[in-house]
Structure 1
Amino acid sequence: MHDAVDPFIGTEATRLPPPEGLAATWWWPKPQIGNTHPGATHPFGMVSVCPYSGAYPTGYGRYDFNTEGVPRTVHDEVVASGFTHFQQSGTGAIRKYYNYFRVTPMLEPLDALGTTWPVRDEVARPGYWAGTLGSGIRCELTVGPKSAVHRYVFPASERARVVVDASIGGLALPHSRTVPLRAHLAMLAPGVAEGEITVEGVPLATHVQVHAPGWRQLLWYDRRLMPGGTRLDLDGIRPTTLRPFGMVWSGPSRSDQVVEVRMGWSLRGCEQARANHDADLGRRVTAFGWRRRATEDAWRSHLGRVQVEPVSAEQETVLATALYHSLVKPCFAPDEAPGWTGDGPWVFDVCTMWDIYRTQLPLLTLLFPQRATDLAVSLLTVCEEEGNLPIGYRMAKGADRFSRQASALAHLLLADLCERDVPGIDWDWALVHLEAELRRTYGEDYLLHQVAHPISHTLDLAMAYHATAAVARRVGDRALARQLSGLAGGWINAFDPDTGLLVDSTFYEGGRWNYSFRLLHDMRARIELAGGDTPFVAMLDRFFGFGQPPVRQPGVGPTSAELQAGYALGRFEGLNNEPDYDAPWAYHWAGRPDRTAEVVQQVLRSQFGTGRGGLPGNDDSGGLSAWYVWATLGLFPAPGQSLFLLHPPAVPSASLVLEDSELAVHARGLTPPRPGRVDHVQSVTLDGRPLERAWLSAAELREASELVFTLGHEPSGWGRQHRPPSTSDPRPPDPSRR
């Protein structure tokens, strides 16, 4: 998988073949661009480094701020003014754009700092980026978990230099710049320096070592050198008083001279930044090659958890890259919490739970349960230290509320981990915070009225009560579990029994159709509310565009009227919008897994591809990419319910390396994708025994060794009778029933 990854996928505006058939009826309102970047990353690492053009939203690329339709360009080609550290991956308008401590190799005077050069001959692989600036300097980047290494090859010049700008942050777009409040820089020894900036409430420190024998090193302020100065301390910086400042190494370069810049990072001061530098890079004179190989090995190990036999080289590239993008975030930074002194797990760039709870977090939980455990402990610690269980969390002091998006989604992650009985979590401690969080913000309205607006929060909170009841049962508090389970029934108050849809309300990036088909814990009662299987399937068919004419997609700068008309369609938004991610599997509870197969295969064929424009929308910290991984494997998680829903895999065979086992998935009779043709499940065996139902419990999946699908081109009776479990089932489901 490692060698097939293309980190450039998703870095430019969507460029996919025109959709056909059912896919042509889907409407894409959100940004039609992946918003990924090709810079160097480490699996779940704290640090990334990337060429910096100042474009939205990662600092890499050519595009302006964009929340709907096709993005406008601000650069005609890929350019860079240097290389910055810390980037989001696939997110949109989150107003926290990092891009700190820009490092610029240059041949021009310091006054030319900020010049952008065209970037040629780009190469990107997991953990590595290379390219040549228009100035003729060849640049390479790699990272460790808490470090970054730059390697520059200079042409012959009398005035070569490497400039570190500690004043830069954010994007080079209106209202997107980040200004440090305080700064400290110091030259410690020849080739050794340190710096710390306090930015958006966080003290970010770096330890810098530059291998450039014979070059001078100086501090600079307001583009003027400070000869003889070894310290620079600034306080009370404001946007109106900011003058750029930083460090510079300069001297004559011979042809093909290599200069290496090594940087360790910490949120707990320069001393810890130096310790992180030494832990990641050692005390080598040059570290680039060693660090690149170590990070490549880490990526090979992580990506090796999934192995497939692809149907084409293109599919292998898309799948490998999707898995790669699923493992970039969140950022795990143990012992780095800037807001308190205790050690232990600390995780940032959970951006946001709304984006990743359906797909990326279940993938993390299945393949890397210890990572998921550390994330859960980190979220609980944030709750204890800062007063709220985060819906989103970035490199900042204070949890981001993201209150418009969702409520109480961390509860679903904790419930899935609780079902696994993972070590490392004090479940009594967890239950205290989970239960208390349900009384905060939107939870107050829900407790008083069993309904909260925006109405989608009612579904969030009902699911969270269901999940928390599972934790209460785990610790033996049956009375609390009964109370929480009763409150979990409030989801029904969100629906209008006359329409079978959610009641009128405001909705975040969607409409009531988009939010009405979420996979709830009581889908049996949800379908009865809509009138039963037949009316519910008819509603889903309308939503997914069966029998509907093609739609026109928003272009550049769509008008409000155009967007309102699109939302009024009440149509599936494909993989362009998070609320629709799990909707295709709602058919399972109505006994129509064949319909799920039709929709999912249309998505796989029409909304993913190779090339920079190969994603249909924001990747959102891997949430979109993780969807592709699940859909390709023939499995889809139901978060907080410890369920996996089955559908036709898109590869002939796959192997998943789990914590204590290995699962082989085979699709017999799989045919190459072709317009108008759908593969349907005819039968399934689990470890050699027939499986008549279209779902597995999480425990069954982890204990299984072989899952075999037999496929054909016509729908069958498979999966129609034995529905996935619901809390209102007349009796508990029997997992042994095949």
Structure 2
Amino acid sequence: MNPKTIFLFSLFALAVFAGCASDENSTPAADISDASPDTTADAVDVADTLDAKPQWVDAERAFSLVDPFIGTGGLGFGYAALTPTAQVPNGLVKLGPDTSKDGKYYPQSHFSGYHYDDPEVRGFTHLHLVGTGAPGLGNLSVLPVATVDAAKPWAQYTALDKDSEQAAPGYYSVHLPDAGVTVELTASLRAGFHRYRSDAGGITLLFNPASSIVTSAETEVTMAVDGQTIEGHVVFGGDFATRSGPFTLYFSATSDSAPTAVSTWDDSGVNAGASSAQGVEGGAVLDFSDAEQVELRVGLSFVDLDQARLHRSEELDAKTFEAVREEAKAAWLDKLGRVRVRGGAEDDLRIFYTALYNVWRMPTRLDGADGRYRGMDDQIHQVNGSKYYSDLSLWDTFRTLHPLLTLIDPDLQRDSLNSLLAMKRATGFIPRWPALQTYTNSMLGTPADQLFAESALKGIDGVDYQEAFDALLITATQQTPPGSIFTGRRAVARYLELGYVPDDEFSQSVSRTLEYAWNDWALANLADHLGRAEASALRERSENWKNTFEETTKFMTPRNADGSFVVMMSHGAFSEDHYTEGNAWHWRFYPIWHPTQLSEAFGGPSALYEQLHKFFDDAGINTDDYLPLLPDGKYWHGNEHDIGAPYLFNFTDRPAEVGKWVRLIQSTAYGSGPDGLVGNDDGGTLSAWYIFSALGFSPVAGHDTYMLGSPLFPEIEVDLGDGKTLRIEAPGAGPETPYVVGVNVNGQAHDGPYFTHAELQGSTVYFDMAAEAPAAD
């Protein structure tokens, strides 16, 4: 879409973008946001005596602190696109409520299909994207109803009792007053478990394989009901997750007792007494007239019906609802227990552990229990020693999520890289935003460069980095052929020729130039690591961001092919002509991979400080009434371009200011309510930023370094794998003490703005915290 309207809100609302919206295919998506936290209250003091210290937050306490409703509400661009689905970590099945379809309620607030303020539900569906800025999935719905609309049963809604709604990792529950049914949902890796309890006896379920968040004419259902079994498949296409073509979802479901009556529907409506259905619309009415409770077990597969049956039988059939829920909880305890905190305000802990939970909601596991999966080439493949994942929102997640995985879940990071290589072997290219079986082509650049480079430098083994480099070098130096499944770097030929992307030939020229330069820097690091001769040329190209830096204005400015800079009437104007999802201010401080050179370009550390301070101060993020209903014209935490900027204070004459602004962002952009995240979480990107910032450092994607920050809690332990634990000690840390005035590692004074990854392995890092800013250097 990439709209060019001058009315700000219309521009962003129509563009519907957010970390996965503005892209090589002009994708709809959106980055939206809101928050209303107050993390300054209820701080827990760290006493001098061990007996007075608060207890460590262990895995059980962490689990209880997670609130899956955080980020499910908010208005306008204050919507995080999160959803309270029941799932295991990185599970295929994300089973939960969808409350809108095709804009019955405001579409921009329903990319996940759910919004906290909606009064009704259209069904409980099995597949979801989490936190993305584009609508997709919401497939295979089950909905209890009081009566059946014989003409259009697939379009029915029923009221939610919001006061009864509950969610925890791996579990969701709500009462439906009109239907007289209480819904409970849990999930395994590849199957969903439903339990429906009747208030007064009798339950009617609408089983709707054709359901989706976006209506598509490409849908085709084939299904049949035989006693207690409902099986079939649905072909689905036409949304963000099916850009490369439709997928076929196979399902095998069983109820704990046979329905007393069955009807099915097709495009013309309900066919009383029929037991099979086929059509664009196709589903079943399952009437359990005497039942007080119905349990439904649903196995899914993208491979075939046999695999769907396997997933149901192996993961659910011999287990009770409680047992499956407990298994899901155990899986979450393993993840949430990897980071332990002592001290801190209750709200801060709730936000922290909910953010940690969001880290493992995507990517999505696609290989089956038998090792088979359907690849990007629509062929069946067999895993070989590695798990296969998709839903990798790389343009977003390369910044924070994947660096966090290299730190606390290296196995998942390794599998993600090998999954990207499997996609390359199937189709020829490493993608930038794969969703299920589709490349999507969303956003721009080649962020897989950063993933592979960083992982190699940080010691993630079991990956063929030479193969990865060869594939990444092709997209860094050649345009992908016309009709390719992946568009690569669309302007790469002119970028190589001119050293920048010409604005009179390509849209979003500034953003493309900056992206390609960061990509090249990461590839140069990988080339050095591998001993490749291409390192020198790539490192030289990583400085191409300077070719967009206009000396007079000190902004990254669009430039024409003849070398002339475009005269910008306003640096605050949003324009997809020049910038991706933003304006000149949003992209001004982008080159965090060259912070010293950026400081020099501004005129030195003092000059960089003045411009950074204006960037943050004018954004209003330090005011009590901060409400990002619209995108911020300056610092905009709800979208990804800016989130590294607070750490650039490290390269000014007032480096401790990092703590001031990080703490303000934590206390205004994050909260403990449904509006508690100021933009699409984009596969855990904003959540991972909070985790890193609470630890006291932030990654430089594509390298093995982290920029120093300001820890939020007095004590933190992080399991790094291989028996190594990172300890962070920051006595007195909290909302009122954001300034770091000294750092040591293992008892030795630490100088400079960086930690290295190796430096953190099994180490104790000690921060001296203060309530007042130290004098400028």
TM-score range, shorter chain: 0.7 to 0.9
**Is 1:493–2:547 an aligned residue pair?**
yes
Q: Find 1:45's aligned residue among 66, 88, 91.
A: 91
Are the aligned partners of 2:525 and 2:703 in contact in 1 as well (CA < 8 Å)? no
SS in structure 2 of the partner of residue 66 of structure 1: helix
Alignment of 1:473-552 (within 5 A): 473-477=528-532, 479-504=533-558, 506-545=578-617
Task: Show structure 2 runs of 5+ residues with no match.
Answer: 1-61, 238-245, 480-489, 502-507, 559-576
- Give yes or no for the alignment of 1:584 onto 2:646: yes
- Answer whether contact 1:190 1:217 (CA < 8 A) is retained: no
Aligned with residue 382 of structure 2, among 343, 361, 364: 343
Residue 103 (structure 1) aligns with? 142
Q: Could you give the per-residue CA deviations for residues 94-130 of structure 1, whole angstroms, max 9, x where no partner exists? A: 24x2111111223424528343222120110001000
Give the whole-Å Cα distance in 2 for the aligned partners of 1:263 and 1:180.
Answer: 23
Name the aligned partner's letter for residue 342 of structure 1.
H
Contact 1:455 1:494 survives alignment (8 Å): yes
Looking at structure 2, the residues matched to 554 and 368 of structure 1 have their Cα atoms a distance apart, in angstroms, of 34
Give the secondary-structure state (helix, strand or coil) at the position aligned to 2:513: helix
The aligned counterpart of 2:69 is 8
TM-score by length of 1: 0.83
Residue 193 (structure 1) aligned to one of 225, 230, 234: 230
Distance 1:55 1:365, change over 3 A: farther
Shift of 1:382: 2.1
Partner secondary structure for residue 223 of structure 2? strand
Aligned counterpart, 1:161: 204
Name the SS of the counterpart of 1:512 in structure 2: coil
Q: In the alignment, is residue 245 of structure 1 matched against residue 260 of structure 2?
A: no
Q: Is the alpha carbon distance of 1:408 and 1:547 closer, same or farther for their aligned partners in structure 2, counting shifts above 3 Å?
A: closer
Q: CA deviation at 1:550?
A: 7.0
Give the whole-Å Cα distance in 2 for the aligned partners of 1:697 and 1:584: 19
Change (3 A) 1:74 1:91: closer
Q: What residue is the counterpart of 1:141 in the other structure?
A: 185
How many angstroms does 1:63 deviate by?
4.6
SS of 1:539 mapped into structure 2:
helix
Alignment of 1:48-59 (within 5 A): 48-54=94-100
- For the structure 1 residues 553 and 662, does the alpha-carbon distance in structure 2 shift closer, same or farther, using more than 3 Å as the test? closer
Kindly state the Cα deviation for residue 217 of structure 1 after the two structures are TM-superposed. Answer: 4.5
CA separation in 1, counterparts of 2:403 and 2:105? 32
- Which amino acid in 1 is paired with 2:382? D
CA distance in 1 between counterparts of 2:259 and 2:108 reads: 46
SS across alignment from 1:40: coil
Partner of 1:689: 748
Shift in alpha-carbon separation, 1:82–1:553, aligned structure 2, 3 A: same
User: Does the 8 Å CA contact 1:681/1:709 hold for their aligned counterparts?
Assistant: yes
Alignment of 1:722-733 (within 5 A): none
Tell me how far apart the structure 2 counterparts of residues 536 and 489 of structure 1 sit (CA, whole Å).
18
Measure how far apart 1:56 and its partner are: 7.7
2:635 partner letter: F
Equivalent residue runs for 1:254-653 within 5 Å: 254=291, 257-281=292-316, 283-284=317-318, 287-334=320-367, 335-338=372-375, 339-344=378-383, 345-350=387-392, 352-396=393-437, 398-402=438-442, 405-438=443-476, 439-440=478-479, 441-452=490-501, 453-477=508-532, 479-504=533-558, 506-545=578-617, 567=633, 571-573=634-636, 575-653=637-715
Check conservation: 1:184, 1:196, Cα contact below 8 A: yes
Distance 1:417 1:614 in 2: 31
Q: What is the alpha-carbon distance in structure 1 between the residues aligned to residue 417 and residue 65 of structure 2?
A: 31
RMSD of equivalent CA atoms: 2.9
Q: Distance in 1 between matches of 2:593 and 2:410?
A: 23
SS of 1:534's equivalent?
A: helix
| Residue of structure 1 equivalent to 2:49 | none
Q: What is the CA–CA distance in structure 1 between the aligned matches of 2:258 and 2:751, rounded to whole Å?
A: 70
8 Å CA contact 2:420–2:430 kept in 1: the answer is yes
Going from structure 1 to structure 2, the CA distance change for 1:547 and 1:407 (only over 3 Å counts) comes to: closer
Partner of 2:757: 698
Q: How big is each residue's C-alpha offset from its partner over 1:46-94, in whole Å with a ceiling of 9 and x where there is no partner?
A: 111112222589xxxx9512389xx9x99974311321121222222x2
* Mapped pair 1:656 → 2:718: yes
SS in 2 for 1:248: strand
Gaps of 5+ in 1: 15-29, 171-175, 235-241, 721-738
Is 1:207 equivalent to 2:261 in the alignment? no
User: Alignment partner of 1:253: what SS?
Assistant: coil
**Aligned to 1:474, what secondary structure does the other structure show?**
helix
Answer with 136-145 or 501-510: which moved more.
Answer: 501-510
Q: 1:218, CA displacement in angstroms? A: 5.0
**1:714 aligned onto 2:772:** yes
Give a deviation string over 1:131-180, Cα, whole Å, max 9, x none.
Answer: 100222011001111111100012344x632221122222xxxxx32344
Tell me how far apart the structure 2 counterparts of residues 223 and 289 of structure 1 sit (CA, whole Å): 37
Matched AA of 2:293: V
- Aligned AA (2:72): T
Match of 2:173 in 1: 130
In the alignment, the residues of structure 2 paired with residue 401 and residue 228 of structure 1 have an alpha-carbon distance, to the nearest angstrom, of 42
Instruction: Tell me, in whole angstroms, the C-alpha distance in 1 between the residues paired with 2:627 and 2:772.
Output: 35
Deviation at 1:546, TM superposition (A): 6.7
Instruction: Give a deviation string over 1:616-643, Cα, whole Å, max 9, x none.
Output: 2222221111111111111211111211
- Structure-2 separation of matches of 1:377 and 1:432: 15
Distance in structure 2 (CA, Å) of the matches to 1:394 and 1:184: 24
Specify the alignment match of 2:33 in structure 1: none
Tell me, in whole angstroms, the C-alpha distance in 2 between the residues paired with 1:454 and 1:280.
Answer: 49
Contact 1:382 1:399 in 2 (8 A): no
Counterpart CA distance in 1 for 2:363 and 2:525 is: 26
- CA–CA distance in 2 between the matches of 1:77 and 1:699? 48
> Is contact 1:108–1:160 with CA below 8 Å preserved after alignment?
no
Shift in alpha-carbon separation, 1:311–1:422, aligned structure 2, 3 A: closer
**CA separation of 1:341 and 1:3: change in aligned 2, threshold 3 A:** same
Deviation of residue 547 (structure 1)? 11
Offset of residue 288 of structure 1? 1.6
- 1:445 & 1:552 partners in 2: Cα distance? 45
Match of 2:21 in 1: none
Is the contact made by 1:519 and 1:586 (CA closer than 8 Å) also made in structure 2? no
The percent identity for this pair of structures is 25
CA shift at 1:655, angstroms? Answer: 0.9
